[in-house]
Structure 1
Amino acid sequence: MNSYYVAIFTSQRTKHVSKGYASMTDEMVELARLQPGFISVESARDHEGHGITVSYWESLEAIQKWKENTNHQVAQQKGKETWYSKFNVQICKVVREYSFKGSD
């Protein structure tokens, strides 16, 4: 695979338990999968509410279009108002990749 880009979203959830967070997360993942230039996404959150989501994209333009998606903007606003006490986004270019897969 040639070089590609990642959007790394790290966050801290608020103490406020809010209905709709899980369903909105699922909706955003499904919506992202439909975006031109989307490759894949991985996400994890610990028991203290620290989370990381890494989405993989073919281009910077694809990431920008995702950021500008109307439904995604609604989710971003809800996140700022209710779900997150803080978050950070990093956009990076992957120029090399390697991996290991051992036998189980």
Structure 2
Amino acid sequence: MILVVFRSRFSEQYDHEYETTEDYLAKKVRAVYGDDLVQVKNYETEDGERLALVWWRDPETLARWRADVEHHNAQQQGKEKWYAFYELTVAEVIRTSSTLEPEAYPAP
């Protein structure tokens, strides 16, 4: 399993277009990669920093998403306009332990 950790903070150029793009891409990624996109969680801190955690079943599926033209275009907009700061970390999950019932937590 692959875990993508995306930290960010909006710039002063953040606008409604970001939310429209984010909603569209969230629907697209679930429709196209639903079986391989394990889970997505988004958080925002009191000081405005944002954190997205995205679990992927394998590196190949993540590579296909990275190559998606619309996703790439949104990344460019983020770099040029929407984000004052961002940090992306991609990690391979070695082990997961959980108190959740197996059906409540997707298997790797």
Query: TM-score normalized by structure 2?
Result: 0.79
Any stretches of 5+ residues in structure 2 without a counterpart?
101-108
Q: How does 1:75-86 map to 2 (within 5 A)?
A: 75-86=74-85
Instruction: Output the aligned Cα RMSD.
Output: 1.7
1:61 maps to what in 2?
60
Q: Aligned in 2, Cα 1:84/1:11: closer, same or farther, shift over 3 Å?
A: same
What is the aligned counterpart of 1:18 among 15, 18, 38? 15
Q: 1:91 to 1:78 in 2, by over 3 A?
A: same
Query: Between the two proteins, what is the percent identity of the paired residues?
Result: 22
Higher strand share: 1
Question: Partner residue of 1:45?
Answer: 44
Q: Deviations over 1:56-93 (max 9, x none)?
A: 11111111111111110111011011110121111111
Aligned to 1:31: 28
Counterpart contact for 1:18–1:82, Cα < 8 Å: no
* Distance in 2 separating the partners of 1:17 and 1:87: 13
Gaps of 5+ in 1: none
Number of residue equivalences:
98
Q: What is the TM-score normalised by the length of structure 1? A: 0.82
* CA–CA distance in structure 2, aligned partners of residues 17 and 5 of structure 1: 29
Shifted more, 82-91 versus 13-22: the winner is 13-22
Q: Which has the larger helix fraction?
A: 2
